[in-house]
Amino acid sequence: MLNDITVGQYLPGKSAVHRIDPRVKILLVVFYIVAIFVTDVFWMYGVFAAYVLGAALIAKVPLRVLLRSIKPLLFIVVFTFIMNLLLVREGELLLQVWKIRIYSDGIIYAVRLALRLILLVFGTSMLTLTTSPLSLTDALERLLKPLSIIRFPAHELAMMMTIALRFIPTLLEEADKIMKAQKARGADFETGNIFQKAKALVPLLVPLFVNAFRRADELAMAMESRCYHGGKGRTRMRILTLSWVDAAAVAVNLGLLALLIIFG
């Protein structure tokens, strides 16, 4: 049943990590990403790994969920690792097998980049695992609001994301239904080469788009009749207020910043 799908990978909870203001959380993740790419001291990666794992522990995010988040990017991590290993021709020559030469710097670069990528995925995953998509959207809108001076459509983007999140489950359910209906008419979505398969999708995609446009039309009408007229003069029910959790999170990060400045 498609009823149970959730968008993103949010794990609801009430931990301190969950309760960090989403705006603060986004900024901290940005700081974290910059930091792991700035530092090239190896034990600092250990510090950052401990930081992320500590956060996961507090948020009660199971380690296996966190590890799983690397899976889609594993190929890129391995690929960049091998490329660095093979292509860097600096430092000491450690090993030569036929035409393949491995240098000491190659190992260092390869390991460093792999660590950075893994830490990057861990950090961003912690953000999406502990923050609901709606809070993220909301926080992004508020963070980007100052940019509206240069006509950056922060509110419009956030509204689009909200609506997308709302309708993805509905559309998936509908896709499932249309697919079944066409199967009942003998459609075959499984066999054939890639071109035949792509062509077989037409009876699914056309109704899906037609229905999506109809939905969009009706939704626009419903929003207008609920007095929606863009972001101007709009208030929000949810007030985001900073608390001691945010102060603590910022303090931890100031500590990391200090380490970063002292040791590079």
Closer residue to another protein (CB): 23 or 112: 23
- Residue 25 neighbours by CB under 8 Å, 6+ apart: 127, 130, 131, 139, 249
For the stretch 85-123, what's the b/e string if a residue is b when 16 or more beta carbons lie within 10 angstroms of its beta carbon?
beebeeeeeeeeeeeeebbeebbbbbebbbbbbbbbbbb
Q: By CB under 8 A, tell whether 185 contacts another protein.
A: yes
Interface with another protein (CB under 8 A), residue from 189, 228, 244, 263: 228
Amino acid at 55: A
Interface with another protein (CB under 8 A), residue from 113, 134, 175, 245: 134
Q: By CB under 8 A, tell whether 180 contacts another protein.
A: yes
Closer residue to another protein (CB): 39 or 182: 182
β-sheet bridge partners, residue 239? none
CA distances from 247 to 175, 243, 253 (A): 45, 7, 10
Interface with another protein (CB under 8 A), residue from 49, 108, 165, 175: 165
Q: By CB under 8 A, tell whether 189 contacts another protein.
A: no
Choices 58-66, 95-103, 140-148, 199-207; region in contact with another protein by CB under 8 A: 199-207
Q: Which element (helix H / strand E) includes 100?
A: strand 100-103
85 CA to centre of own chain? 28
Closer residue to another protein (CB): 3 or 193: 3
For the chain, the straight-line distance linking the first and the last C-alpha, in angstroms and rounded, comes to 51
State residue 235 phi and psi, 5-degree precision: -110, 175
Q: By CB under 8 A, tell whether 166 contacts another protein.
A: yes
Work out the number of other CB atoms within 10 angstroms of the CB of residue 248.
12
How do strand 93-97 and strand 100-103 relate by DSSP bridges?
antiparallel
Interface with another protein (CB under 8 A), residue from 40, 90, 156, 218: 218
- Per-residue x/- track, 62-91, another protein (CB under 8 A): ------------------------------
Q: Considering the complex, what minimum distance in angstroms separates the CB of residue 61 from another protein?
A: 18
Binding site residues, another protein, CB under 8 A: 1, 3-4, 6-7, 133-134, 162-163, 165-166, 169-170, 173-174, 177-178, 180-188, 202-203, 206-207, 210-211, 214-215, 218-219, 221-229, 233-239
